[in-house]
C-alpha cells in the first residue's frame, strides 16, 4: 500500500506551514501530499486557508518526487474550464505528478459566506456530471469541444497548449455514495477515493465499483482505489490515550469510524487490513499542522 499525507487547508494553512510540510513529506518518503479545497471551516472559528491552486503551483515547482492533488475541488465554486486549464498547467509544471480531485461540493457555510450557490443534492450532482464532462473532454480531446448543458456551455473550446501528459492528469472522484458517486467514478474516474471507511465497508463498495466498471466495459484495474481517513498516531500507549481523550472517543469508536489510530504496530496492522480489503493508496489526515516531529515519527513507524 502507498501512504500519503492529507491536510485540511482551512485549518490554519499559511505559507510557512505549507512550505515546511511539503518539504518534509518529500524528504520523509511519503508517496504524496494532498489537501482539501475550502474557503473556511464548516463552523467557526475561521482560520487561515491558503488558496488551493496557488499552493499546488508552488509545490509543483519546488518538489521533484511526491504526487499531489486536492481532495477534492467542488464544481460549486470551481468552474470546470478554469479547473481544467489550471490542472493541465500545474501538471505540466510538475512533470506529471498531479491527480485532479473533483467533487460536487457539500459545505453550506462557505457557500453562504462567499455567495456561491450550493444547490440541493440532486442539482449538485447534475452540475457535477456536466462539470466532469467538460473537464474530461477539454483535457482528453484534441479537437475543439462543443457542449450544451444546463450549467455550462462550450462552443469550439480547446485548451492550448495541449497537456504534456496524454489526456492530462488522472481524475479522482471522492465519496462513498452508491447511487450517485460510484456511477460517476465508473464513467469518468481514473481513481476512486473513499472517505473514512472501515475495511468491511470499503470491500463492499470496492466490489460494487468493479461491477459498475464491468457494466461500462471498463477494466476494473484501470481505476486506482484509494481512501482518505483520519489518523491519530501516538508514540506510546499513554500518548494515545491522551489524544483519544482530546477527541472524546475511544479507540474502538475510532476504528469503527474508519479512523487509523494507535502506536506504530497498531497503525501498521490497520493499514495491512485495509490493503487486504483493496485499498491501494491511503491519504492519512494530519490535522496538527505544526506537529512536524509527529509526522517524522509516523514516517519512521510505517514507511
Query: What is residue 104's predicted lDDT score, i.e. its pLDDT?
Result: 97
Does the domain at 2-302 match CATH 3.20.20.30? Answer given as: yes
Helix pair 15-28, 52-62: axis angle to 10 deg: 40
* Secondary structure element (H or E) that encloses residue 112, with its range: helix 108-114
pTM of the model: 0.96
Instruction: Show pLDDT as tens, one digit a residue, over the chain (303 residues).
Output: 999 999 999 999 999 999 999 999 999 999 999 999 999 999 999 999 999 999 999 999 999 999 999 999 999 999 999 999 999 999 999 999 999 999 999 999 999 999 999 999 999 999 999 999 999 999 999 999 999 999 999 999 999 999 999 999 999 999 999 999 999 999 999 999 999 999 999 999 999 999 999 999 999 999 999 999 999 999 999 999 999 998 888 999 998 999 999 999 999 999 999 999 999 999 999 999 999 999 999 999 999
Query: What is residue 208's predicted lDDT score, i.e. its pLDDT?
Result: 98
Query: What is residue 285's predicted lDDT score, i.e. its pLDDT?
Result: 98
Domain boundaries, the chain: 2-302
CB atoms closer than 10 angstroms to residue 160: 6
Helix pair 121-140, 181-188: axis angle to 10 deg: 10
According to DSSP, the β-strands at 73-74 and 98-103 are: parallel
The cell numbers describing 2, all together, are 502507498
| Nearest in space to 31 (alpha carbons), one of 265, 288, 224, 219 | 224
Query: What is residue 92's predicted lDDT score, i.e. its pLDDT?
Result: 98
Query: What is residue 184's predicted lDDT score, i.e. its pLDDT?
Result: 98
Query: What is residue 265's predicted lDDT score, i.e. its pLDDT?
Result: 96
Query: What is residue 94's predicted lDDT score, i.e. its pLDDT?
Result: 98
Burial class of residue 38, CB neighbours in 10 A (0-12, 13-18, 19+): buried
Amino acid at each position: 500500500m502507498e501512504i500519503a499525507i492529507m491536510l485540511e487547508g482551512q485549518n490554519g494553512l499559511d505559507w510557512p506551514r505549507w512550505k515546511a510540510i511539503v518539504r518534509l513529506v518529500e524528504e520523509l518518503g511519503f508517496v504524496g501530499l494532498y489537501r482539501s479545497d475550502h474557503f473556511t471551516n464548516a463552523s467557526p472559528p475561521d482560520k487561515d486557508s491558503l488558496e488551493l491552486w496557488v499552493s499546488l503551483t508552488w509545490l509543483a515547482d519546488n518538489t521533484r518526487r511526491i504526487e499531489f492533488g486536492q481532495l477534492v475541488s467542488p464544481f460549486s465554486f470551481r468552474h470546470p474550464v478554469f479547473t481544467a486549464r489550471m490542472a493541465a498547467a500545474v501538471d505540466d509544471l510538475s512533470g506529471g505528478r498531479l491527480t485532479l480531485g473533483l467533487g460536487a461540493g457539500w459545505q453550506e457555510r462557505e457557500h453562504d459566506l462567499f455567495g456561491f450557490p450550493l444547490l440541493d443534492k440532486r442539482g449538485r450532482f447534475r452540475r457535477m456530471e456536466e462539470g466532469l464532462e467538460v473537464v474530461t473532454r477539454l483535457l482528453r480531446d484534441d479537437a475543439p469541444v462543443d457542449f450544451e448543458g444546463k450549467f455550462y456551455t462550450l462552443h469550439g473550446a480547446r485548451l492550448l497548449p495541449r497537456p504534456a501528459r496524454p489526456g492530462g492528469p488522472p481524475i479522482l472522484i471522492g465519496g462513498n455514495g452508491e447511487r450517485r458517486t460510484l456511477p460517476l467514478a465508473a464513467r469518468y474516474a481514473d481513481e476512486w477515493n473513499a472517505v473514512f471507511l472501515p475495511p468491511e465497508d470499503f470491500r463492499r463498495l470496492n466490489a460494487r465499483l468493479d461491477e459498475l466498471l464491468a457494466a461500462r466495459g471498463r477494466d476494473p484495474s484501470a481505476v486506482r482505489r484509494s481512501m482518505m481517513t483520519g489518523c491519530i498516531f501516538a508514540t506510546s500507549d499513554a500518548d494515545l490515550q491522551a489524544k483519544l481523550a482530546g477527541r472524546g472517543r475511544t479507540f474502538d469508536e475510532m476504528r469503527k469510524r474508519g479512523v487509523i489510530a494507535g502506536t506504530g504496530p497498531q497503525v501498521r496492522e490497520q493499514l495491512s487490513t485495509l490493503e487486504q480489503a483493496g485499498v491501494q493508496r491511503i491519504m492519512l489526515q494530519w490535522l496538527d499542522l505544526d506537529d512536524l516531529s509527529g509526522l517524522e515519527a509516523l514516517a519512521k513507524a510505517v514507511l
